[in-house]
Each structure stands twice: as structure tokens, then as C-alpha cells.
Amino acid sequence: MADKKAYLKVDGIEETIELPVVSGTMGPDVVDIRGLTSKGLFTYDPGFMSTASCDSQITFIDGDKGMLLHRGYPIEQLAEHSDYMELCYLLMYGELPSTEEKDHFERTVKKHTMVHEQLSFFYRGFRRDAHPMAIMCGVVGALSAFYHDSLDINDSQHREIAAFRLISKMPTLAAMCYKYSTGQPFMFPRNDLSYAENFLYMMFGTPCEDYKPNPIVAKAMDRIFLLHADHEQNASTSTVRLAGSSGANPFACVASGIAALWGPAHGGANEAVLTMLEQIGDEARIPEFIERAKDKDDPFRLMGFGHRVYKNFDPRAKVMKQTCDEVLAELGMDNDPLLPIAKRLEQIALEDPYFVERKLYPNVDFYSGIILKAIGIPTNMFTVIFALSRTIGWIAHWHEHHSSPIARIGRPRQLYLGATKRDYPVKK
């Protein structure tokens, strides 16, 4: 805690309230307002845009500088030199693993990739055309009914076991969602494949023929996982931490994160990009939609451009653009009718003064949506893959919350604007 104080003088209160100022290792100082409650005051901050709900050592974002750090490491360096499994270790344990530690970590993940056979019957309770995110909410929450041998949240070993089970089983559950919608049989995971390769195998493999994941596509899939692994105190992560603060089991907490992620303003953004491209439909119609996007009175918005957090270029987008180009070149997607539209929109966003001045650059959702479509993943599965990727971030924050000596149940306050106390009208 820095030797700094903030002072608050409020109309109607004679005294000046002294508030300590807390400094983190990076980022803005934070005014500790916990003492306001004893004075009969709360703060008013819709959306918690100016409120730090916790302290954390996992991820740091500086939106003005376009900076994203995981445990201090820039996302660009991790994307170039690391992989998703190593990042999972880093987020869970705080440091990069040695070769032996990483090998042990990967072996442990592979040992838990299978799910209880009875869990497959849960899928039959859903319609075949159910949205995969609806299914994921249900089956992930149901995991606590199968793996209730290690749900003591106060036991660090139990928390670690739950973390491994979630990281391991999410690709299997996600692929099962896809297989169920297509009527194809579920594919058992293969422990001889990497994390990304195994997911692609369970998605696109069938018992009829041998499926070998394309290494370029597998690398792209791993990067998508890595770039979406964590993003500080966003809506879904805050939801997981809030649910966890009540003592709920980790599977229920992650299911709550999946529900929050489902929203188009959060995890559904890359799905919205493809919907937008299909809505435009033809390269000749791009000027019409650009003008609509510039019209503040028109409800149409270009999806995949700009970011609520980053006031500069999204650092993940630079890596994802490179990956997008690699995948499209490898798969020869020149005939895809949506690709020219996407490329033209990208060019306009990088050159048009309207977008440049407002820093509405293509973001990670723009490129990841194009990559996933090129790979052959249906649009309604995009958010499921986001949830799969983000599971490690959720579980790392959940574990951090329960490791904190000052952790307590979340209880946001409100500014009440309803009716004052009144008597019930008794009929005579």
C-alpha cells in the first residue's frame, strides 16, 4: 500500500473522509472505499467500470497501449514461443514450466480427457438443433454429479484436481456438442495427439476412416485457444469469481461463466462477425453498409472492429491476422464468397480516416471468426470454442479467489429508485 490518501467531502456530512490509496505493480492507483460503509455511503458505478472488485496476479491489460500480459509475459511473445498447454500451466501456477513440468502437466491433462459414459446420455435430452452453448451450460454444470469426490473448495489439492478435469474434458464435451447436432457418433479422445489435434480429431473424425489433423490448422486452433485463454476481469470471469465466492463447486461456477460468455456483447462477437458478413452478402454492397456504420442513428454496427478495452490495436489481432493468412493459404479458400467481403472491410478499417481516427481496427474476433469458418466449424460452435479456451482463465481466477485471505462472498450494492415504504391497500 502506497503512502497516499484520498479525501472525500460529501454534502450533508460535516467531516472529510480519508480513504487510503492502493498501488498495484502496474496500472492506475485504486482508492480503497471499504471505509465508506461505516459512514452510511456506497459508491455508484454502473457496470463496475471504475471499480476494482478484487486484486489479482494473473492478467494485466493496458488498453491505451494495446498491452496484454499473462503473469507478466506479453501475449505476442507467448503466441510466438509458447503453446496453449504451457500457457495453462503459467496461468495456474504463476511461472513457466520446465520441460519436465510441462511433460507431466500434459500427461495429466491427457489422462482426464475421457468423460463418464453415462454423461453421454445427457445429450439425448436436448433437441438435435439446440444451440451448442445451451448444451454446454447443462453438461458442464452436471459434471459435479459425476466428479463429487474432490469438491472441497478449501482444499488446494481438490481445487487442482477440479482444474485438471475441466481443462481436460472441455474439448471432449465441446466436440460431443457438434457430433450430437450432426447425428454422427461421439469420438473418443486420443492421447497420442496434442490438445488442439485431439479436439480437431473429435470434431471431424469418424469411425469410418483415419483422420489426420492438418498441422497448419492444428497450430491455428492452438493459437485461438491461447489468445482467448484469459482477459482479466471481464463479464464471464467476474461471473465465475462471483459464483465462486458463494462456495459453489467449480463445475457450477464454470457453467455460470459459459452462460455469461454466451452474450453477443461478449463471447458471441466472432459469431456476430460471420452473421454480419452474410448480411452484407456481396462486395458491391460494402459502401452501403459502411455508410450505415458511420450513421449514429442507424442501429447497424460493424462487428469485429474496435474493442471496448483496447483504445489501440488489439495485440491479439496482430497474431490472429498472421494465423488467418496462413490458414487461408493452406486451405485455398479463394472461392469462399465471404472472404472478399472480409478482406475489403479489413482494408477499409485500416485506411478510412473515420475508422483510423476512432481506432476501430480489426480485432481478434474478426480474424478468429474467419479462421473458424475456414476450418469448417459451424458458426454456432464459435462461442463454445471460446468457452473451451477461456476455461483455464476462469479456473485460475476461481482458484486465486479461494486462495486469497481476504476473499468474501460478493454482494454488490444498489442505488434504489423505487417506491418508498407504503401500506398495502386493504379492501373494505
Distance of CA 211 to the CA centre of its chain: 29
Q: What DSSP string runs through 84-106?
A: HHHHHHHHHHSSPPPHHHHHHHH
Write out the H or E segment, with its range, that includes residue 68: strand 67-70
Q: CA–CA separation, 329 vs 333, rounded Å? A: 7
Is 365 among the residues known to form the active site? yes
First to last CA, the chain: 63
The residue from 365, 397, 401, 402 that is catalytic is 365
Specify whether 231 is catalytic. Answer: no
Residue for cell digits 496484454? 68
CB atoms within 10 A of CB 313: 15
Helix (H, G, I), strand (E, B), or coil: what is residue 73?
A: strand
Q: How far apart are CA 252 and CA 258, in angstroms?
A: 10
For this structure, is 307 an active site residue? yes
Query: How far is 150 from 159, CA to CA, in rounded Å?
Result: 7
Q: Are strands 73-74 and 30-31 parallel, antiparallel or unpaired?
A: unpaired
Under a CB-based contact definition with an 8 Å cutoff, are residues 72 and 59 in contact? no
For 145, which DSSP code? Answer: G
Place of cell 482477459: 231
Nearest Cα to 197, choosing from 225, 177, 178, 176?
A: 225
3-state secondary structure at position 19: strand
Catalytic residue, chosen from 70, 307, 397, 399, is: 307
List helix spans (H) across 192-249.
Answer: 195-204, 215-227, 235-245
241, 242, 248, 249 alpha-carbon torsion, rounded to 10°: -20
How far is residue 99's CA from residue 104's CA, in Å, rounded to a whole number? Answer: 9
How many CB atoms are closer than 10 A to CB 340?
Answer: 13
**Residue 12 zone, left/alpha/beta (φ > 0; ψ -120 to 50; rest):** left
Whether 239 contacts 347, CB under 8 Å: no
Which position has the grid cell 423505487? 418
Phi and psi angles of residue 110, each rounded to the nearest 5 degrees, phi first: -65, -30
Find the catalytic residue in 112, 131, 266, 336: 266
Environment class of residue 64 by beta-carbon count within 10 Å: exposed (0-12), middle (13-18) or buried (19+)? exposed
- Kindly list the catalytic residues: 266, 307, 365
